[in-house]
Structure formats: C-alpha cells, structure tokens
Amino acid sequence: MESRFSARLPHPFYSDHVLYHAYNWGTALPGIRAWEFAGWQVESRSWVDGCYIHAGLSRTGPMSIKGPAAAEWLESLVINSFATFPIGSMKHAVMCNSEGLVVAHGIVERKAEDEFESFAGGPPGRLDLGELPDGVTIRQLDHYLFQIAGPTSLQVMEKASGEDLRDIKFLRFRNTTINGISTEIGRIGMTGNLAYELHGPMADGPAVYDAVYQTGRELGLQRLGWGTYLVNHIEGGFPQMTWTFASAMDPTQHPEIAAMWSNVSGSVDPTDRRARTRSPVELGWHNLARFDHDFPGRESLQSEIDHPQRTTVTLRWHDEDVLDTYAGLFTDADRCRPIEFPYAPQRWPMAHADHVLLNGEPIGWSSGTAYSSRFRQVISMGCIDVAAATIGTELTVLWGNHGEALKEIRATVERFPYMTEGRNSDLDFVPPNP
C-alpha cells in the first residue's frame, strides 16, 4: 500500500477506517501518526488480552553517539553510572538540570565500546550540541521504532522471526530477521508486562511492520494508535515527558518548549512550571542514580534522596464524581470540562496538571488522567507529599482548566504501579479471563 500523505509513515497506509492525526508543535515527534485503528475500547485491551504493535515513536531518532570520548561525555550528563554497561544492553538514562529536575530521559543502548544510541528524546535531549568535546560525534538517524507489548508478544515475535527469542533478557537487544529484513530486537516496553521493540532504517519500516501485523493477527495482535497508547503508561507505572510531566529545560532558551508551555492545561495556573516538572525522586527513578561521577543536579538529587518531599502514586477516581462531570452537558449549570476517553485531554503535547488536595489543602498535582478498560476505572498519576502517600488515603482532585469551572473529584491513593501481574519478567504469563 502506498501512502496518501506527503509525510512518510513508518507503516503501510492502512485504509480500513484508520484515523490519522496531524500536528506541528516543533517537537521531535513525527507530524502525522495513526491515531486510532480498531477503536480505543479494543486497543486498550490489547496489552491485556493479546498484544499490540505501535509505531508512534518512529522517526524520533535515535541519536547515534560515537567516539573514544563518547562514554565519558554521555555519562557526565546523566544520573546513571556506566561502570557496568555491557555491549548489547540498555539503560533508562535520566538527565537533570542544576536544580535536579528532569530535562530528558529515554533508553540508551550500548552498540560498541565507543558507540551508543539514544532513543525518543533521551539524553542529550535538546542540549546545545554546537560545542562537542573532542572524540565525540553525534548524528540523528532516521529509524522506525516499533513497540510490541502484551502477554502474547513473545509468541508473535518468534513466529514473525522464525527463531527462539527467549535468550533476550530484559534490557538486552540483538539482531533478528523479519520478512527477510535484518532488524534489531530489544526487550523493553511501557506497559509493564512482556514487551519488545524493533529498530531499523525507516525505509524498511512498512515491510517489517506489516509482516509482524499479518503474522500476529491470529494471536490477538492489534495495531495501537496514539489515541490510546498513553493509557498503558498509567496502568504500568511509567511517567512520560510532555504528558505526565514536562522537560525542565528553560523555555526561554528553547522556542519549541515555549510553544508547548503556551498550550498546557489543568486546574493549576499555566504559569506554574514547577507543578509540571519532576525530579527523579518524585518519579521514583532515583534508584537509577549512582554517585560515582559528576553530573548536573548531583547535589540537589542527593539532598532530595535524603529528604524526600513528594512521590508518585496511582490515584483512583471515584466513579460517581467522574460521571457527574458529564451532567453539565444536559443542564444550564456551569459545566466543567468532561473527561475524555480513553485519556484526557485528547491531544499532544500537554503537560497537564490538576491540584490535589487533602482536607482542602494543596499537597501535589495529578496528571495522566486515563480510563482503564482493564480495571474499569479512571486513574491518574499523583505527585503528592510523602506523608499523604499511604494506600487508602482519600484525596480530592480539582479537575478542569484554570480560570474555568472546576469539579472536585474524590480520589483514593492506590498502589504504584497499578498493574502488578504479568510484569516483563514473566515470559509465560497467561492473562486471566476478563
């Protein structure tokens, strides 16, 4: 199938009632992506009942970082240590500013002793690369990135590749062949359960994607669009930059970041940047930090680890209050913003932030509001005071947009991550009947 768009797609142009989404925010993400294939109700069950293939992060790189000084330079930017970083492995690398707030994060692969690839806006992020140290070269590659996740993902990938893939451990990668095309396969994902990624040149993308799709259909594989993709981050416990939080880079130095800040939403004042940024401690990523090297924000991070103020929890929203947000659509009363399905708001990028209250007092922020078909509940990520983070604590979320009608929604602190069964370590997990 040939694309009807001037922009290249990483997969074939499917015309079976597929919705495509176009935008131009000047971000690293592609301007045209598939938004919905089979409908959000079907797609949001895909990583529970079978598996999905998602292509929305294609053409975001990766950044190829090479040279004899590449390892030392890259390590100097992130909280992670490279002391143990074998070839063929990955790290979730986190980069902070001097205040210890996250400016970039993503998967970094070690391809060779002096060669790395950083994916989906990962370090060095939007750092000015005009003056690289000697011995470091950087080049952005034009590659596809396909995510295959869910309990049947291993079966699908083994059938598509024609080989046993059980040797690939979590955060490891190697090459395989699909449809006669060499592709890199790694074991990593955002759902929290068994998941893989495929990487390779964009020119090969449509043939590889369609081969996996056609092979996996009888095993329950669904194509996943961007309109549902972000739900699995909330269920699986993976905060996501530009959705559940924003980069802490100074928007006055980066026009594309400033454009995003002009379009934020939520009951928190749009000028409140701190409510929409996070530290590794707040995100639960401080366990990735090693203090065997210098990096931006080192002292701030160490101090916060010693004296944590906030942490991330799952907030389960009370059903009756959620339903009440739609009542204003049928009355003359002031109406707050209805909660869109399957996640709200239904656009990208966002950096949404709602106030979270305990006994009427602000204790943090809620973001990443999503309806979970798996649990039949509306949930979100709450970045709240440690003292209020006990499971079962009753809180209030102020839902809506700053300066407009707001709705108080009761929410209960729950486990984080919310999805606890069938994690990525469980190769043979069989999902329960829905």
Share of the chain above pLDDT 70, in %: 93
Give pLDDT tens digits for 321-354: 999 999 888 887 777 888 999 999 887 657 899 9
Q: pLDDT at residue 26 above 90?
A: no
Question: 63-140: what CATH class?
Answer: alpha beta
pLDDT bin (cut points 50, 70, 90) of residue 426 is low
Pairing mode, if any, of strands 32-36 and 173-178?
unpaired
Q: Superfamily for 19-59+142-236?
A: Probable tRNA modification gtpase trme; domain 1 (3.30.1360.120)
Name the average pLDDT for the chain.
91
How far apart are the C-alpha atoms of 78 and 124, rounded to whole Å?
Answer: 9
Give pLDDT tens digits for 181-219: 999 999 998 888 999 999 999 999 999 999 999 999 989
List the single range of 13-17, 222-226, 315-319, 404-408 with lowest mean pLDDT.
13-17
Give pLDDT tens digits for 104-135: 999 999 999 999 999 988 999 877 777 789 99
Give pLDDT tens digits for 232-281: 999 999 999 888 999 998 877 777 677 777 778 999 999 999 999 999 99
State mean pLDDT over 216-231. Answer: 94
Q: pLDDT at residue 47 above 60?
A: yes
- Domain segments of the chain as ranges: 19-59+142-236, 63-140, 251-414
Asked whether the beta carbons of 62 and 141 are under 8 A apart, the reply is yes
Question: 251-414: what CATH class?
Answer: mainly beta
Which pLDDT does position 2 carry in this prediction?
A: 54
Angle between helices 205-216 and 153-161 (to 10 degrees): 120
Q: How many CA atoms lie within 13 A of 181 on its CB side?
A: 21
